[in-house]
Structure 1
Amino acid sequence: MINGILFRQRTGLPWRDLPACSGSWKTVHDRHRRWSADGTWERILRAVQADADTEGRIDWSMVSVDSTTCRAHQHAAGASTRAPKIPGRRRSPARHRSDEALGRSRTRPDHVGGDKAYSSRRNRRHLRRRHIKHTLPEPRDQRANRQRRGSQGGRPTGFDKTIYRRRNEVERTINRFKNFRAVATRFDKRA
C-alpha cells in the first residue's frame, strides 16, 4: 500500500495507472486520502523526527527557512463547487523541525537563516523575543530606511556569511521534494 502511494507521488501518474503489483488503485487512493485527512501522515513524520532527535541526528545549531511554489496541472482545475477551493498555485514553507508532542528535548534552534523575503521587523522581533539568533540579509531599501532614521532606526544587523552559506540546506531539501512529481505539480482536483 505505502509503496503504491510513494510510487504515485514519485511519478505523478494518474491513480488509475498504478501498476497491478500495488493492488487496487482505488484502495491505494482511498487509503492515501484517508491518511491525509485524519493526520496519519503527519503523525508518522513526527514519530520519525522524534526518533531522529532522540538519536541526536537533528542539528539544532542552525535551521533554515524558505518557501516554494507548487504549480497546478491543467487537469487539476475545475473541481466541484462542493470541494474546497484550491488556488492554482500555493506557497509552502519548508523547514526542519521536530515533534513537540512527543517529548523532544529541544523546542527551538540556536540560529535561523533565511533569505531577504524573511527579513522583516516582525520576523526579527519574533526571533529576538525567543532569544534565537538570526542571519537574514537586509534588503537594500530596509537598510537605507534604517540609516536615514539615524538613532531611531535601530541597530545594524550583524550578518555572518559563514552561517548564511548553510542556508542551501533548505534549498537542497526542497529540490529533493520536487523530485516527486506529484509534490512539484498538483495533479489532483481534491485538496
Structure 2
Amino acid sequence: MSSSPRVTLPSLLAEIRACRACEAHLPHGPRPVLQVGRDARVLVIGQAPGARVHASGIPWDDKSGERLREWLGIGPDRFYDPSAIALVPMGYCYPGRGASGDLPPRRECAELWLDRVLAQMPGIELTLLVGAYAQRRFLGDERRASLTETVAAWRDYGPSRMPLPHPSPRNQGWFKHHPWFERELLPVLKERVAKALRGKPLASTL
C-alpha cells in the first residue's frame, strides 16, 4: 500500500488561499493573508488583517506594521523575506468592523490551519505573540490575568517566546502609561530578533 504524498508548503498555502470556510461571515469576502517560508527563523503571530491589509493582500501593510518593524529593528526588505520572517495571524481574513473597532479573528483559521502551518517551519527560533489572542493560544495557563501583566512578565517565558501588545496607533495611551516597555523590553526584543536571524542561540539573551 503506497503512502499518501507529503504535503508541501506551496500546496498548503494554495489550500489556505482557496479556503472559503468563513465566507458567509466575512462582510468583505475571504482573502487569506499570511507569509510563511520553510526556512523562517522568526515567527510573528498576530490577530487578523485590517481593512488596509485586506485591500493590499500584504501582511502588516499599515501603521501598525510600521511600528512593529521599528520594534524589531528591521526594515521592510527583511520583514517581507519569508526565508527570515513568518507572519501568521490567528485569523487570516479581515473579519470586518464591530461597534468598537475590528471584530476578533475568527476561530476557524487556527482550528483548520495553524498546526499544519507551524509544522512547515521547523527552524523557528523566536515566536512573537502580538496581542491577547496569540498569547491565549500559545501561552495557555502561563498567561497572566491581563495583557499588560502578561507583557510585563516577558522574562518568565524564556528566550524563544515574547508577548507583545498590539502596535496599533489605538494603543498610544498604553505605550505612554507603560514606559518600561520601550525602555526594558524593546532593546531585548531587537537583540533576540537579530540573533535569531543570524542563526545565533538565544539562551544567553536576558
TM bucket normalised to smaller? under 0.3
Q: Between Structure 1 and Structure 2, whose CA radius of gyration is higher? A: 1
Higher helix share: 1
Between 1 and 2, higher relative CO (CA 8 Å, sep ≥ 6) is seen in: 1
Q: Tell me the TM-score normalised to structure 1 length.
A: 0.24
